[in-house]
Structure 1
Amino acid sequence: MACKVAGRLISGVKCMKTKRTEGMPLNAMLCHCSAESHRECLPSEWYEKAFPKMKKLSHLLKNVDLIDGRLFDIRDESIIIDDHIAKKMHTFKSLARVLIGCPSVQKTLKNNMVTLSAGKNANPFDCFSKPSERDPMIVNSLSKVSNFLNVSAQQRKLVRLTVCPQVTQHRIWTATLEEVLSGLKFELDYLHSQCPNKGIKMGQQIVSSCLKFLSDKNTSNDLDSTSWMRLTPVKTAESYASQKWEDILEMFNDLIEYLKSENELVSHINKLEVMKEGLSQIKDVLVDKSIGYKEAKHQESLVQKKLTKTLGYSSKCLFTLLLYYLYGHVRDIEIDTCGGVYSGGVDQNRFYLCMGRILTSNEEKMVWSGIKQLDKALGVFKFVWETAGMKGVLNLQGHLWCVGAEARMFTYKGNVYFLHGISV
């Protein structure tokens, strides 16, 4: 069984238990919320009972942020690995999504936008008023982005033809693999320090071998290792020439097998599976840096050509390469409230893409963390919009919600972000 460990835990969070208040139990409330999800709003009594529960969870999770599937203590940015805290965060965000739909919160949102923008483009649209606009979204493929933006099949072809040659460059490909492996290595090292087991230990060895492969360093000859690790100790030109991308594909297969029971590493294992798609397409390509410059460049060119030809528009591998190309990271982006694309009112050539995040506190570090995460998500959508040649100008607008927060407006990289308080 996988270890249940925690990084630097928030004081008192791990051992706390939510007390039940009078009225509908929390689990029943969430089930009721799901059953009523297609209604525009719930009875006022529901919001009145739900708000104290959300407020309490907000206090318990004050220093915890959820960024792309991982819990962090924002005070020192340490990773938190704890199922108990993860469940509380899921409950907190589920309640918040419904409370954002409360008529009083919606009214406050509109007033904030008008007041803080000083009348400029003052609330030309109603955002997050529909239940579907408050649904979460994991941005993990170009298809998902294009479906959201209503990009046509012809425009998707244009996006792929533009994106593929850029993100499949050899340096982007290898750097993306290294980023995937480095993130996994960091968490494997931490888990090994807390509760070592055979799977984690073997995972560490394999990750090190993968990174050495990518950096052209020699791997050790270990008789207990699997076949791809038992390399001849004499490094001749012939032994270098025999290496192919298939070698690292086999390493990924072994890595997944050893770590599949480690629940804390699910997101990393998923990303290994994603990158296997690209590896399988170039497995016959040689990896040999002992040859001349022109020959080495030819090998790198083959990698780019094969990936460009075979990675389809819906490929999560292609999307991961794009994320690294744009931001230098590889984890899929999570959005708490997906919002939508709204018309700019009188100006038919102007559109607004609104998306949101739900925060556990309104501390500056938490707020700016939320803004930066939204910036990455919104940036991917605008990149696809512009690359596809969509008609009209797409303006980006981020919304953040927090219990009891004072309404504020921020500008980051030329885009506007609103902070709204949640109260009933």
Structure 2
Amino acid sequence: MLKKQIPAFDCFGKPSEREPMIVNSLTTVSNVLNVTAQQRKSVRLTICPQVTQHKIWTGALEKILNELKTEIGLLNCQFPSEGTKMGQQIVSSCLKFLDESAGSCDPDSASWIRLSPAKVVDSPRKWEDVFEMFNDLINCFKSEKDRLYHLKKIEVMKGGVSQIRDVLVDNSIGYKDARHQESLIQKKLTKTLGHSSQCLFTLLLYYLYGQYTGRILTSNEEKTVWSGVKQLERALGLFKFVWETAGMKGILELQGHLWCVGHEERSIMYRGNAFFLHGISFGPKSTSSKPL
């Protein structure tokens, strides 16, 4: 078995390997893989035009807002207040903006055959409106930040929105002009989102998987374990994606490690990668001040 060839005790032998690490940017991934500065530039230039496409950009924002809407709804049930009600209204306004933005660029809508009207009744909106709504949303839940996971995602995406504040969203214009607006958003984001941008990283996760990785195992049931393995497999896939995009030499061997209370140690092969399940037991309190 693979577990016998690479014992679990050999993993994380160095203190530096046991330090907590949050994978939230391409820089973090590149540091682990020892990607050079020149290769990082190549990775960013390759990835940016793909993940800043209008449907990816708006799709990621819409998913985050809908997830946040669910979180706020649960919070409102537990702790109803004017703040939660205001937050729900802001989220709904943001989603309405995105819906209008998607409608203006939809080739299946009737707008592509429509000429620009001689007189516009409603003034075109700007992405600055979303930027201001994001600020209001963050201020609205300052004291509830720890309870709202997707509010942190809003803070991340606000960095991208700030780069396109002056871009118009006008669904009364023809298809050709609408595509120009879409292209302008992509160009601005591609130019301004750096390798260390958490916004760029979030867009990449959505581009690759349509969702975001992350899993804490709270049960040792087989279904929960496999769910954790699949989530971790996506995270490992991200490292493989960057490795291949950077044109790195050699073979990248990926391993996944999961910890679960009371679970016996074993190994699993899934899609060509080895996953090690480690058990956690609560024994007598250690007298040592050093981490195990």
Q: Percent identity?
A: 67
Task: Note if contact 2:256-2:275 (Cα within 8 Å) is conserved in structure 1.
Answer: yes
Q: List per-residue Cα deviations over 1:49-108 (Å, max 9, x = no partner).
A: xxxxxxxxxxxxxxxxxxxxxxxxxxxxxxxxxxxxxxxxxxxxxxxxxxxxxxxxxxxx
- In structure 1, the partner of 2:270 is 412
Residue 140 (1) aligns with residue 24 (2): yes
- In structure 2, the partner of 1:394 is 252
Residue 215 (1) aligns with residue 99 (2): yes
Report SS of the residue matched to 1:391: coil
CA distance in 2, matches of 1:304, 1:133: 38
- Greater mean deviation of Cα atoms: 135-144 or 414-423: 414-423
Assess, with a 3 A threshold, how the Cα gap between structure 1 residues 360 and 293 changes in structure 2: closer, same or farther: closer
Shift of 1:301: 0.4
- In structure 1, the partner of 2:75 is 191
Shift of 1:318: 0.7
Give the gaps of 5 or more residues in structure 2.
Answer: 102-117, 284-292
Shift of 1:405: 3.2
Residue among 53, 57, 62 paired with 1:173: 57
Per the normalisation by structure 1, the TM-score is: 0.58
Assess, with a 3 A threshold, how the Cα gap between structure 1 residues 403 and 270 changes in structure 2: closer, same or farther: closer
CA distance in 2, matches of 1:188, 1:369: 25
Assess, with a 3 A threshold, how the Cα gap between structure 1 residues 237 and 133 changes in structure 2: closer, same or farther: farther
- In structure 2, the partner of 1:75 is none
Give, as a single letter, the amino acid of the residue that structure 2 aligns with 1:408: R
Residue among 59, 80, 88 paired with 1:204: 88
Counterparts of 1:351-390 in structure 2, within 5 Å, are 359-390=217-248
Report SS of the residue matched to 1:192: helix
Residue among 6, 10, 14 paired with 1:130: 14
Shift of 1:422: 4.8
Shift of 1:390: 1.0
Residue among 137, 140, 150 paired with 1:258: 140
Task: Note if contact 1:113-1:123 (Cα within 8 Å) is conserved in structure 2.
Answer: yes
Report SS of the residue matched to 1:136: coil
Residue 307 (1) aligns with residue 223 (2): no
- In structure 2, the partner of 1:288 is 170
Task: Note if contact 1:170-1:300 (Cα within 8 Å) is conserved in structure 2.
Answer: yes
CA distance in 2, matches of 1:237, 1:282: 26
Shift of 1:265: 3.8
Residue 317 (1) aligns with residue 207 (2): no
Give, as a single letter, the amino acid of the residue that structure 1 aligns with 2:200: L
Task: Note if contact 1:142-1:319 (Cα within 8 Å) is conserved in structure 2.
Answer: yes
Residue among 277, 282, 285 paired with 2:159: 277
Assess, with a 3 A threshold, how the Cα gap between structure 1 residues 370 and 192 changes in structure 2: closer, same or farther: same
Give, as a single letter, the amino acid of the residue that structure 2 aligns with 1:259: F
CA distance in 1, matches of 2:200, 2:240: 17
Assess, with a 3 A threshold, how the Cα gap between structure 1 residues 172 and 239 changes in structure 2: closer, same or farther: farther
Q: List per-residue Cα deviations over 1:280-309 (Å, max 9, x = no partner).
A: 111111101221111111110000001001
Shift of 1:175: 0.6
Shift of 1:261: 1.7
Per the normalisation by structure 2, the TM-score is: 0.83
Give, as a single letter, the amino acid of the residue that structure 1 aligns with 2:184: L
Residue among 22, 44, 54 paired with 1:160: 44
Question: Which structure is larger by alpha-carbon Rg, 1 or 2?
Answer: 1
Assess, with a 3 A threshold, how the Cα gap between structure 1 residues 237 and 124 changes in structure 2: closer, same or farther: farther
Assess, with a 3 A threshold, how the Cα gap between structure 1 residues 239 and 377 changes in structure 2: closer, same or farther: farther
Shift of 1:329: 1.8
Shift of 1:257: 1.4
Assess, with a 3 A threshold, how the Cα gap between structure 1 residues 422 and 183 changes in structure 2: closer, same or farther: closer
Assess, with a 3 A threshold, how the Cα gap between structure 1 residues 164 and 404 changes in structure 2: closer, same or farther: same
Shift of 1:198: 1.1
Shift of 1:112: 6.9
Give, as a single letter, the amino acid of the residue that structure 1 aligns with 2:242: V
CA distance in 2, matches of 1:422, 1:188: 33
Give, as a single letter, the amino acid of the residue that structure 2 aligns with 1:164: C
- In structure 1, the partner of 2:3 is 113
Residue among 14, 35, 41 paired with 1:151: 35
